[in-house]
């Protein structure tokens, strides 16, 4: 049934699972080159099919497209329902694109358990695509939690330092405990409605008191994933101990699951509670922006610097989502897509330095422009993109969010602008410390600029960042109608 029905969404969803089965059953552990080639072919095909979804996507409708419905557990009225709208479309493309790049980044590594490593990434890709496509709250939760398994293994087995086991357990437990509240809310919803189908629940009216309780439980599950303050403790440690590809997936995709969950579930299901809790979420978001920026300035580990800056950027995302206007929500989606690309590139740059010199401590690096000019050019570009320089992808997202905040409260806008000043401060400070000044030969004597493979990966990321920044309408056109549909649900229920 799945094979003969040519639905590009089904093909995109099932290809990574086919890759897992091939690697698991058909390829020996010792055939390392064949393992890498198969993983690259499968991930590349998945990415190409995700682009096919975009080519066949109708951008002038708010309805879900490429829909399929299959009976899952008929006795409990559970169905496997999938579909794409303008918001989930780009998250699917982002997932397939970054996993494909992770396969390329890993071409020289790992040195052990190679087969298991690539199986983890393909299974992770399968779960991520499911998360953005399933239209059932229970199935969303199942895949939402399933991503913990491969990420736990990636951090715990292929992490870079001694504390990797501790970081893996911290990541697993923090996110799992937060999601247990989410599961309790799903069970309660099923008990009173008899279904977990999102398309039915969207038109179900919950009482104001019920909305407040359910949104609080949903919020705990999603806030840990973003992560919002004070649920952020696991993130810097997980980034510091994860391999480069683990950090790319964490920052590029996993941090977006919470924001996507707010858009897909919290706002349309609980509009009254979303409005009620918005002042609290604004406060937590501003704390994340200012605290994340100031904490970034005092870090000495390059990965932790980028990790804390991610907390600040995701604070802007939650401000845009709970501004509850079209401009803010579209800006938050654009900023999530942009951050997924830019933070991935930044972590890859740090990984390049770590692979060459075996350390990420800031004090060891200075004057790299003299010996690594190509690396410095890319690092400078992504540093400016990270502070939302005009012409880059982040500028579009942050500008739309700031416009939306100006319609709500000027105090919110003022504190957000302070956060932008702080972000410019830590980004330029980091760029200056690493790239310029006198080259210190006391710690390192051998230097090597980026390879052809690394140049290709960074160039590809640069082009996409510029594409979004210079031609945002090619993305906003598809996002706009899905956002209008979301607001139609909000107004119908209020």
Give just the sign of the alpha carbon dihedral 20, 23, 29, 30.
Answer: negative
Reading phi first (left if > 0) and then psi (alpha if -120 to 50, else beta), residue 324 is in left
Q: What is the pTM of this model?
A: 0.93
3 found inside a domain: no
Number of domains in the chain: 1
Q: Is residue 400 part of a domain?
A: yes
In eight-state DSSP terms, residue 254 is I
State the residue for tokens 């391999």: 243
* Separation CA 180–CA 202 (nearest Å): 22
Can you give the pLDDT of all 494 residues of the chain as single tens digits? 334 457 889 999 999 999 999 998 877 777 888 888 999 999 999 999 999 999 988 877 778 889 888 877 777 778 889 999 989 999 999 999 999 999 999 888 777 788 899 999 999 999 999 999 999 999 999 999 999 999 999 998 888 767 888 888 888 888 888 889 999 999 999 999 888 889 889 888 888 999 999 999 999 999 988 888 888 888 888 888 889 899 999 999 999 999 999 999 999 999 899 999 999 999 999 999 998 888 888 888 888 899 898 898 999 999 999 998 899 999 999 999 999 999 999 999 999 998 888 888 888 888 888 888 999 999 999 999 998 899 999 999 999 999 999 888 888 888 888 888 888 888 888 898 888 877 777 777 778 888 899 999 999 999 999 999 999 998 998 898 888 888 877 766 65
**Confidence at residue 493, expressed as pLDDT on a 0 to 100 scale:** 60
Asked whether 292 and 311 are in contact (CB, 8 A), the reply is yes
pLDDT at 4 (0 to 100): 42
pLDDT of residue 107: 86
Q: Where in 387-449 does DSSP place strands (E)?
A: none
Q: Is residue 333 part of a domain?
A: yes
What separation in angstroms does the CA of 136 have from each of 71, 141, 225, 293? 12, 9, 19, 37
Please measure the distance between the N-terminal and C-terminal CA atoms of the chain and give it in whole angstroms. Answer: 41
Contact 354, 301 (CB under 8 A): no
Unique residue bearing structure tokens 């001694």: 162
Token pair listed for 372:
């690594």
Report residue 80 as tokens.
């496997």
Query: Distances from the Cα of 310 to the Cαs of 210, 338, 379, 387, in angstroms?
Result: 33, 12, 16, 11
Q: Please report whether residue 2 resides in a domain.
A: no
* Helical H segments across 56-163, by residue range: 86-105, 114-133, 137-146, 148-158
- The answer to whether position 50 is within a domain reads yes
Which phi and psi (to 5°) does residue 78 adopt? -105, 130
Helices 208-225 and 164-193, packing angle to 10 deg: 160
Q: How far apart are CA 231 and CA 177, in angstroms?
A: 11
Residue with tokens 């690096």: 365
Hey, what long-range contacts does 120-123 have (CB within 8 A, 24 or more apart)?
A: 120/150, 120/153, 120/154, 121/39, 121/43, 121/150, 121/154, 121/245, 121/249, 122/16, 122/17, 122/19, 122/20, 122/23, 122/39, 122/42, 122/43, 123/16, 123/17, 123/20, 123/149, 123/150
pLDDT reported for residue 492: 63
Is 1 domain-assigned?
A: no
Domain span including residue 186: 8-493
The answer as to whether 116 is a domain residue is yes
């Amino acid at each position: 049934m799945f094979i003969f029905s040519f639905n590009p969404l089904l093909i995109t969803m099932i290809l990574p699972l086919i890759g897992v089965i091939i690697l698991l059953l058909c390829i020996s552990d010792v055939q390392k080159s064949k393992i890498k080639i198969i993983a690259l072919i499968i991930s590349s095909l998945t990415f190409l099919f995700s682009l096919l979804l975009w080519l066949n996507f109708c951008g002038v409708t708010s309805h879900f497209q490429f829909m399929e419905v299959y009976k899952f557990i008929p006795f409990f009225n559970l169905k496997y329902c999938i579909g794409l709208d303008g918001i989930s479309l780009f998250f699917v493309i982002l997932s397939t694109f970054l996993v494909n790049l992770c396969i390329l980044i890993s071409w020289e590594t790992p040195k052990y358990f190679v087969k298991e490593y690539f199986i983890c990434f393909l299974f992770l890709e399968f779960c991520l695509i499911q998360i953005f496509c399933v239209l059932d709250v229970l199935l969303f939760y199942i895949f939402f939690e399933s991503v913990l398994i491969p990420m736990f293994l990636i951090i715990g087995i292929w992490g870079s330092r001694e504390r990797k086991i501790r970081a893996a357990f911290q990541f697993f437990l923090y996110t799992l405990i937060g999601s247990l509240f989410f599961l309790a809310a799903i069970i309660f919803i099923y008990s009173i409605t008899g279904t977990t189908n999102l398309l039915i629940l969207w038109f179900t009216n919950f009482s104001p008191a019920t909305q407040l309780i359910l949104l609080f439980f949903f919020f705990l599950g999603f806030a840990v994933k973003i992560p919002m303050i004070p649920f952020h403790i696991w993130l810097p440690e997980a980034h510091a101990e994860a391999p480069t590809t683990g950090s790319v997936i964490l920052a590029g995709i996993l941090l977006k699951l919470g924001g996507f969950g707010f858009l897909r579930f919290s706002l349309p299901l609980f509009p009254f509670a979303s409005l009620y809790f918005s002042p609290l979420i604004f406060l937590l978001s501003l704390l994340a922006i200012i605290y994340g920026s100031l904490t970034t300035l005092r870090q000495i580990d390059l990965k932790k610097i980028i990790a804390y800056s991610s907390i600040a950027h995701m604070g802007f995302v939650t401000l845009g989502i709970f501004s509850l206007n079209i401009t803010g929500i579209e800006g938050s989606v654009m900023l999530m897509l942009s951050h997924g690309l830019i933070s991935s590139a930044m972590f890859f740059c740090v990984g390049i330095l770590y692979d060459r010199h075996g350390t990420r401590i800031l004090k060891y690096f200075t004057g790299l422009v003299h010996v690594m000019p190509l690396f410095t050019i890319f690092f400078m570009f992504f540093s400016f993109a990270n502070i939302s320089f005009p012409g880059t992808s982040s500028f579009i997202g942050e500008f739309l969010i700031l416009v939306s905040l100006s319609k709500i409260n000027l105090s919110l806008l003022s504190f957000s602008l302070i956060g932008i000043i702080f972000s410019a401060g830590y980004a330029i400070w980091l760029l200056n410390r690493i790239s310029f000044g006198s080259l210190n030969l006391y710690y390192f004597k051998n230097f090597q600029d980026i390879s052809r493979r690394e140049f290709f990966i960074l160039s590809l990321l640069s082009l996409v960042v510029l594409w979004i920044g210079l031609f945002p309408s090619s993305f906003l056109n598809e996002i706009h109608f899905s956002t209008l549909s979301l607001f139609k649900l909000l107004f119908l229920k209020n």
